[in-house]
Each structure stands twice: as structure tokens, then as C-alpha cells.
Amino acid sequence: MNRPSLHLFRTVLIGCLWAGVSYGQTGVSFDWESVPAGRWVRLSTHGTAAPKVFHGGATIAPERNEVYFVGSDTHSPTTLEKGESNAVYRLNLATLTWSQDYEQDPKSTYRIVANNQAETTTGRPWAMHTFDAVEWDPTVERVVVVSFPGHTRFEPEERFPMFEGDWYTKLEPSHWEYDPATKKWSRLETNAPRLFAAALTRDSRRGQLIGFSGGGTYHFDRAANVWKTTGAATEAGWHFSIVYDSVADRVLSLGTNMGSDELLAYDPDAPAWKQIETKGKPLPANGAAIAFDPDEGVMLYLANDHPTQYHNPTGKSATFIYHSRTREWERLKIDSPPLYGMNYLMQYDPVRRIFLHFEKGPESGDRIEAWAFRYR
């Protein structure tokens, strides 16, 4: 294709309605500059996509050009999970190609080791809900997951006949780290906080991981290999989503299991949580799809436009922008991609300066589709 033809091709693409646009071509590097600003576009990915996991999480490694997906719905698995899956999927952002790192481990490999830690004979975590407790730590180039299979309490005798007694009440949280280069998991011998149905983010200014469970906030001291409890709390609950706001130097939390439009901010130095008095309000959140853009100083929130945020059968959504410098919410007057309730998969890519949304589509079954949004 010559240059005039290529220019015409891009012009036609950008002029299309977002719902009809599919960006990406098999076997070539994707041109991210072709994504226009101010509009959601659906990306045409290649290979077998990861299943949509309602209670699963994701994280992005911008320097590796990859997004990683880990987590299982365990007691209510999708048909694509083949029961309960501890597999890792990844999306290559250069070519928009999906891959699966390894086949899920069967339950016959599950075991309980010292200190009531749950792992497989292959050295991997059990299949488990991960929620928002999945984060990339560039200091060690690892995917970090702080959680445990807390929902083994549902029908334990039927689902785990190899164990006896009340073992499921004694399982303790674990701090797992995954090396995408070697495709190996390692479990740290540390005092992992209880972040089940809770959240994890990375404070880039201090270079530390911060966990939040509503009833407590935790800092990870990697040098000492210790999680430190700060005592800062908000209220009991779960289904939190948090991001680090590098403009205000605060961790932001939006949403609870009851649904909430309140935006909370955590000062790591205080340490304390406070509600932010904002101009305007978004739709309530429960397991919010949020990500922060440090270049523009904004947080994107893709909200369920439905009375119930936990599960949205309509898939209808609305796009909100929180402006950190002015503490103002803005509802964008644009068409938004599908959102079927809780979603812990939203990412911001600082290399391409673009937001990435992952969700099943109207015609994708239980497979994930990808959408991109460039703010400016």
C-alpha cells in the first residue's frame, strides 16, 4: 500500500463510528498512533483470548509491552475455565496477540503446606479469585498477587474431596510473584495481608506496593520482606478498586460491595484516608473499572449505567473522567464499550498514553475483547 493510500485508509477508519471500528492486522505491529483521541475504539486482537473472569484481575507491564490476566471465578467458573483455573494469559500490545502461558493445574496437584499456605505440586497458586489484588512491580519485574482461595468454603467436601475436616477455615493469605520471562511462580515467605475481595496498587513515588481492605491499609517493605500495617481504615466492606494518583500523591479508592460514588484518598505519609469533596458525582461503583493517567492527571472510570453495579445484564456503560488537579468529575458524551458489572481489568499504558478496557463483547461469548481510549 503506497503512502497516499495508507493516509486515505487511516482517514476512513478515524471517520467511522467507534462501534464499527476494528483496529489491528494479523502478523504486523499495531500502529497505536492510529487510535484517535476522545473516542473508544475496539481493537482487533489475534489468537485465543483469555476468558472473561468476573472476579479475576489484570496488570500491565508497559516496558514489556504486555498485559497479564490471572484469577478464576472458582465456585462459579465460566465454561471456558474448565472448572477452576490458575492459568496465566497475556496480551502482547505490539502485535495484539493473545497467548496462554501454561495449562491450568488439576486439583489433584493441590496441597496445603506449612502455615496453611495453598499451593500446587508444580509450585503455583491454587485457582482463586484475585479481584484488584494484582499488580506489576517493575523493581523486580514480577506480577504480584496477594490473595488466597477464600471461597473454598463453598461446598468444600464436593469440590475438594482430597481434604478432610475444616481445613478451608484455616487457609492463610499468600504473597505470590510471577516472572513472565521464565513463566515461574514463587511464593514469598512473608506476612501477607488479607486482601481477598480487596485491592493492591503501586506507589510509584516511593516504589512500594500498597494494599487496602477497607478495614486496613498495608505497605510492603521489599528490602525487609515484610508487610507493615498502618492502621488506616475506612469502613468494612469489599470489592474495592484502588489506583495511585501521582499528581496528588495519593491512593484513590472508588466503590464498595454496596455501591458508592464517594472518592476516598489515602496519604501514605500520614497515614490516613479522607473523603475527597468533588465537583459533581459519578455513577456508583462496585468493583470499579478504573485507571490513572499520570500524563494528563486524570482517572478514567468506566461505570455501569444500570441500577445494580455488581451485575449489569445490559452491558450499558458510561465514561467518567476525574480531574485530579481540580477535583472534578466529568461525564463524557461519547459511546462507551460494554461493561457487565464488576471489572478489575482496566489499565493505563504510559508508553502509548492510552487506556485499555477488557470485557466480553456482545458476540464474543465468554472471551475477552479489548477496547482503547486516548484521552487527548
Domain of residue 275, CATH code: 2.120.10.80
pTM over 0.85: yes
Quickly tell me which residue has 471465578 as its cell. Answer: 73
CB atoms within 10 A of CB 308: 12
C-alpha–C-alpha distance, residues 75 and 69, integer Å: 19
260 in a domain, yes or no?
Answer: yes
Measured CA to CA, the distance from residue 19 to residue 300 in angstroms comes to 19
Q: Do the domain assignments include residue 170? A: yes
From CA 314, how far away is CA 169, in angstroms rounded?
A: 37
Note every long-range contact of 351-357, with CB atoms under 8 Å and residues 24 or more positions apart, other chains counting: 351/62, 351/63, 351/65, 352/32, 352/93, 353/293, 353/295, 354/32, 354/35, 355/291, 355/293, 355/300, 356/60, 356/67, 356/291, 357/40, 357/289, 357/302
- Separation CA 12–CA 359 (nearest Å): 26
In order along its 376 residues, the chain shows pLDDT tens digits of 444 443 333 333 333 334 435 566 555 689 999 999 999 999 999 999 999 999 999 999 999 999 999 999 998 888 888 889 999 999 999 999 999 999 999 999 999 999 999 999 999 999 999 999 999 999 999 999 999 999 999 999 999 999 999 999 999 999 999 999 999 999 999 999 999 999 999 999 999 999 999 999 999 999 999 999 998 898 789 999 999 999 999 999 999 999 999 999 999 999 999 999 999 999 999 999 999 999 999 999 999 999 999 999 999 999 999 999 999 999 999 999 999 999 999 999 999 999 999 999 988 888 999 999 999 9
Is residue 6, in this structure, part of any structural domain at all?
no
Q: What's the full length of the chain, in residues?
A: 376
Residue 14 lies in a domain: no
Query: Residue 192: inside a domain, yes or no?
Result: yes
DSSP conformational letter for 103: P
Residues 315, 94, 200, 113: what is their CA dihedral angle, to the nearest 10 degrees? 110
Name which of 292, 276, 286 is nearest 353 in CA terms.
292
CA–CA separation, 201 and 133 (whole Å) = 8
Task: Note down the domain range covering 209.
Answer: 21-373
Q: Is residue 4 part of a domain?
A: no
How far apart are alpha carbons 197 and 239 in whole angstroms? 5
Number of domains the chain contains: 1
**Is residue 15 included in any domain, yes or no?**
no
